[in-house]
């Protein structure tokens, strides 16, 4: 019968072994370097993807600012048309405001989606970092056997 301390130790060992994105049971002394390199390459690839996403975010932020300026311009033109009292101008400028706001909403949604995508990528990279640390620890343990 296992003591409470042994059961707790086994529980924590199981948690450690399955904490990353890889089942540490597949590691052997022979394949450790290969698996470590595989995960380092995965880490680099994901970091490059993150940089691309951040670049895309910058483009969307610029687009958002431009669309915001267009909305403000359209509102000023609408207010000017209101002051002028020309019904056809008022209607035309009102349509322009609505269209500009719709375009702004579209870019804002894309911006929100891109920020979510970046957050998910950062979390995934953190998981890869944890996995790499676990692989390195396990390889050290296996090489000592």
pLDDT in tens, 16-44: 656 678 888 889 999 999 999 999 999 99
Q: For 58-100, write each residue's pLDDT tens digit.
A: 999 999 999 999 999 999 999 999 999 999 999 999 999 999 9
Specify whether the backbone of 85 is left (phi greater than 0), alpha (psi in -120 to 50) or beta: left
CB atoms within 10 A of CB 117: 15
Higher-pLDDT residue of 16 and 124 is 124
In the numeric block, which tokens belong to residue 39?
Answer: 């995960």
Closest CA to 138 of 127, 6, 130, 10: 130
CATH number of the domain residue 46 falls in: 1.10.287
Cα separation, 4 vs 72, in Å, equals 68
pLDDT of residue 79: 95
pLDDT at 144: 85
| Domain span at 12 | 4-143
Question: What does R_g of the chain's alpha carbons equal in angstroms?
Answer: 28
What pTM, to 2 d.p., does this model score?
0.78
Q: Is the pLDDT of residue 12 over 90?
A: no
The total number of structural domains in the chain stands at: 1
Sign of CA pseudo-dihedral 28, 137, 20, 42: negative
- pLDDT value of residue 33: 94
């Amino acid at each position: 019968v296992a003591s409470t301390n042994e059961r707790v130790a086994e529980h924590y060992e199981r948690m450690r072994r399955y904490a990353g994105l890889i089942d540490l049971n597949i590691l052997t002394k022979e394949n450790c370097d290969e698996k470590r390199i595989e995960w380092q390459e995965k880490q680099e690839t994901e970091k490059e993807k993150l940089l691309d996403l951040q670049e895309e975010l910058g483009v969307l932020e610029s687009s958002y600012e431009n669309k915001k300026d267009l909305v403000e311009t359209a509102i000023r033109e609408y207010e000017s048309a209101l002051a002028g009292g020309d019904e056809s101008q008022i209607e035309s400028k009102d349509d322009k405001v609505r269209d500009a706001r719709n375009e702004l909403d579209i870019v804002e949604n894309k911006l929100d989606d891109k920020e979510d995508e970046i957050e998910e990528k950062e979390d995934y990279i953190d998981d890869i970092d944890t996995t790499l640390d676990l692989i390195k620890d396990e390889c050290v343990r296996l090489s000592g056997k």
